[in-house]
Amino acid sequence: MGTRKDSVDKLVIFLAKRDGIDKLVKTFQYVSKLAHWQLQKHNYSSMAERAKNWEVSSGLSRKAFRTGRFLTGFNTVRRNQEPNWTLQTLAVLANSGEMVYFFFDHLLWLARIGVLNTHLARKMSFISAFGEAFGYIFFIISDLINIRKGIRMEKQLKWEIEEMNSVCESVVVEEKRKKLSNVKSQRIMQLMAISANVADLCIAIADIEPNPFCNHTLTLGISGLVSAWAGWYRNWPS
């Protein structure tokens, strides 16, 4: 009973976050995209149209819900306190690309709903996708560097624990084990971030440079769900 209550509490906390709602609606968006593809293949035109409407409305609602999101990247750049200049530079480049992505994504939404000239939609979509791809490349590089640092730290901590087991108090060893556990947990989060960013990069490439692989419905659908579910994992309350 307690486990079920905890799960419900965590779901409420998750859905109270803007990112939590975004990942839920993103799941709807890409499940409906795959559903539309399958239904269309089997000539269920009426149901396929409903699935397409669900996909479009989910995509537009996500854009509306993320209004002002580009300011998050600006705030991250402003408060950037990464420990070395390489990570600082990567953080600035990554968040700058994300700012461009979200800013022009807002304009794309306005063009799609007819507030701006609808002919601007294609141009806004290209600029938004280009900023998205640019940012994700540097996010991925940054996470790979942090994973490499984490592996080195893990090796160091394991060696220290082995050395201390015979000569140090159990409290000191326990602290080292907690640090080791934190390093492993951070690596899982970084791997989830890389998975999401690679998936979103694939979606962005499909918009920048259309090609048979990235633009295939199955590729886009799976990429969208990988990104959404990796985001679920990262934002789910611990």
Average pLDDT over residues 200-213: 94
Distances (CA, A) of 2 to 8, 9, 13: 10, 10, 16
As a whole number of angstroms, the distance between CA 175 and CA 167 comes to 15
Give yes or no for residue 1 having a pLDDT over 60: no
**For residue 164, which amino acid is it?**
M
Q: What share of the chain has pLDDT > 70, as a percent?
A: 96
pLDDT band at 146 (very low <50, low <70, confident <90, very high): very high
**Is 109:120 a contact under the CB 8 Å cutoff?**
no
Q: Cβ of 179: how many Cβ atoms within 10 Å?
A: 16
Dihedral (CA of 125, 130, 135, 136) sign = positive
pLDDT at position 160: 83
As a whole number of angstroms, the distance between CA 34 and CA 185 comes to 32
pLDDT at position 165: 66
pLDDT in tens, 31-81: 999 999 999 988 888 999 999 999 999 999 999 888 888 888 778 877 776
Tokens of 165: 């087991």
Residue 208: name the closest of 76, 113, 104 by CA. 104
pLDDT in tens, 79-113: 776 678 888 899 999 999 999 999 999 999 999 88
Mean pLDDT score of the chain, rounded to an integer? 89
How far, rounded to the nearest angstrom, does the alpha carbon of residue 104 sit from its chain's CA centroid? 18
**Is 151:216 a contact under the CB 8 Å cutoff?**
no
Tokens 């700012």, located at residue: 99
Q: What does the CA dihedral 109, 130, 74, 114 come to, rounded to 10 degrees? A: -10
Average pLDDT over residues 125-144: 95
